[in-house]
Amino acid sequence: MAASGNQRDDSNFFVPSGAASEDSPLHDSGYRLHVEGFELRPHRRFAIFTMAVEHGGVRWPISRRFRQVSALHRSLLRSLGQSSMGKGLPALPPRVTCLSVCRGQLDDRFLQARVCELQTYFDDLLRYIPNVEQSEALYEFLCCIDVSAMSYDTLLDLEQAVGSVGEKNLPSDSQIAALPAWSSTSPSWRGVFKTDCCVVCQEYMLEHEDTRVLPCGHRYHFQCISRWLQESNSCCVCQSVAVHL
């Protein structure tokens, strides 16, 4: 899905709130990830890989940069440590190859090869870690959904499966506006999760931008989280209550 300007102003992302529940229809079957292709961002000099996740008969689109795949891999290595699980983790595709050196990292042949490498990596990873819900990093990577890339019928199917779209008792505009603003100089934000990227738009949160912190400690661009809270009163990452009514 193409983006315009520096921010995708019509995108909404969410994590299905019922995906890890024993009563959820998504609990019975494993996850499958399909790396479908790539989209170039020439003005930003990077590519985004388009993917689709399947789980329990539901399919949803996600878009990720290679750096996000690398961050996932590093997080898994940290969480598994020096255990046998950590040592057996599938290898991440190399960031630089002979083809990328010769033809550049935006070359079509290099990116096509990377699509195949990523497919192999995720096939191996999901066989190695079948219980996705037990890994916070992997669950977040797979279940942060780009609603704007879904058709209306697909969104309805997802709503029926996980029951997280169209919730009642949503916060008012004034309650959303009252979310506390983040400041790097404020000592009160020491408990905030350290992240430079907004989960919703996948863009960096810059010092001068209006970013807000939810009670759980996760931080977002105000424009991004305000759009999401009009649909669901929950954190996109951990599914805790975003605004106490």
Q: Are residues 39 and 113 in the same domain?
A: yes
**CATH number of the structural domain spanning residue 198:** 3.30.40.10
Cα–Cα distance, 221 to 200 (Å, whole number): 8
Both tokens assigned to 95: 């960031």
Residue 240 lies in a domain: yes
**CATH number of the structural domain spanning residue 114:** 3.30.1520.10
Cα–Cα distance, 95 to 47 (Å, whole number): 13
112-150: per-residue pLDDT in tens? 999 999 999 999 999 998 888 788 889 889 987 655 555
Closest to 53 measured CA to CA, from 72, 73, 35: 35
50-70: per-residue pLDDT in tens? 999 998 778 888 999 999 999
Number of H helices, E strands in the chain: 8, 7
Residue 15 lies in a domain: no
Q: Are residues 54 and 137 in the same domain?
A: yes
The total number of structural domains that make up the chain: 2
In the predicted model, residues of the chain with pLDDT beneath 50 are 1-29, 152, 162-167, 191
